[in-house]
Amino acid sequence: MDPYFLELANKAIRTLKPYQPGKPISELQREYQLSRIVKLASNENPLGPSPRALTAASTALAECGRYPDPEAYNLKQALAKHCHVEAAQLTLGNGSDNLLAMLVQTFVQPGQTVLMPEYSFATFTIVSRTHHAHVVYAPSKEWRCDVQALLDAITPETRMIFIANPNNPTGTCINQMELVQLLANIPKQVLVILDEAYYEYCQQADYPHSMALQQQYPQLVITRTFSKAYGLAGLRIGYAISHPDIANLLNRVRLPFNISLPAQAAAIAALQDQEHVQRGLGINQQGIKQLRQALVQLNLKSIPSVTNFITVDFEQTAAPIYQALLKRGIIVRPLLPYNMPNHLRISIGTPDENDYLIEQLSKILSKEYSHD
Ligand SMILES: *Cc1c(COP(=O)(O)O)cnc(C)c1O
């Protein structure tokens, strides 16, 4: 890049690396002529959204000449009821990543510290560094967040701790005891942001009761999203549950029309169709089993996952396997940006998509294909 504009950019932005999303289907289609493309790269719901959400969104499109309700009154009422919280505790975001940025913008001064475990969601680093925060990574243990290591890394400069639970890209989670240990021992000036983008998927019995803990520990902020279990990733809508005063402060930063009209309508309808969510969770459970069995047969190690993707350890550089899968029309996620060059993250698809992945992966790994 020509240094001219680079030097005009904020210092914090100059060394920032852009988020590397899963390869879009349209891009792969441009590169190779493929009859079938299966995207298992961004942890989307393979069933897509509820048909009721789609109908609501298209009905709302007719009203798009007007601005959406800036307070999203109806959606907040529906969410408050669904989550058993007060509407005043909710803040809506254009995707939950929008909320993560607002949280740093609101509560972290330039030069103060944001703390997170190693192998955390890349967006945490981007939103922190964009707002001139200093980012510190606490060591993880066997791909899991180590709460004691986080506590040990806290300094007087620490203002915020990010934990994705379950975590992306590892698929692991912390339990109730660990979260309580953290919340009970943090200093007053530290907020804990618990990103529960995948909470619907986690079946673990000791998964934290974060909502109840939020009542007890007002420094806890929970973020959730319609992008994963609700299958609405393309409409961009997420929410934060916090102490009402935190919500009040966030709403000073939030731009007034950040949730589009179709997104508000779709989210309300999606909440009303819990059967669709359950169907998605069923497909996921089945898919996790199917993939886990196949990985064992292929002699591949993976990180035990409590969510809708599996992170596979190829015990060698995984880039050639990623490329070979692409050539066969399958998009998964390389984890080089996470310093995990031997791993690939594979989203759970429909049973049919999982079969296709397993079939192609075994071909790639088998001796016959080692020279192609
Ligand atoms: C997918 C994901 C999200 C969701 O982001 P949206 O902006 O709501 O689409 C949030 N956090 C993590 C860890 C994720 O993997």
Distance 97 CA to ligand 1 centre (A): 6
Kindly report the pTM of this predicted structure: 0.95
* Ligand 1: nearest atom to the Cα of 228: 1
For the chain, count helices (H), then strands (E): 15, 13
Cis peptide before 24 (omega within 30 of 0): no
Distance 372 CA to ligand 1 centre (A): 36
Q: Which residue has the tokens 């005891």?
A: 177
What is the rounded end-to-end Cα distance, in angstroms, of the chain? 36
Distance 151 CA to ligand 1 centre (A): 25
Task: State how far the Cα of 135 lies from the Cα of 34, in Å rounded to an integer.
Answer: 42
Local confidence pLDDT in tens for the 372 residues of the chain: 888 989 999 888 888 888 888 888 888 888 888 888 999 999 999 999 999 999 999 999 999 999 999 999 999 999 999 999 999 999 999 999 999 999 999 999 999 999 999 999 999 999 999 999 999 999 999 999 999 999 999 999 999 999 999 999 999 999 999 999 999 999 999 999 999 999 999 999 999 999 999 999 999 999 999 999 999 999 999 999 999 999 999 999 999 999 999 999 999 999 999 999 999 999 999 999 999 999 999 999 999 999 999 999 999 999 999 999 999 999 999 999 999 999 999 999 999 999 999 999 999 999 544 554
Name the residue of 43, 99, 168 to mutate for ligand 1: max ligand atoms within 8 A of Cβ: 168
Is 77 strand, coil or helix? Answer: helix
Q: With beta carbons less than 8 A apart as the criterion, state whether 255 and 272 touch.
A: no
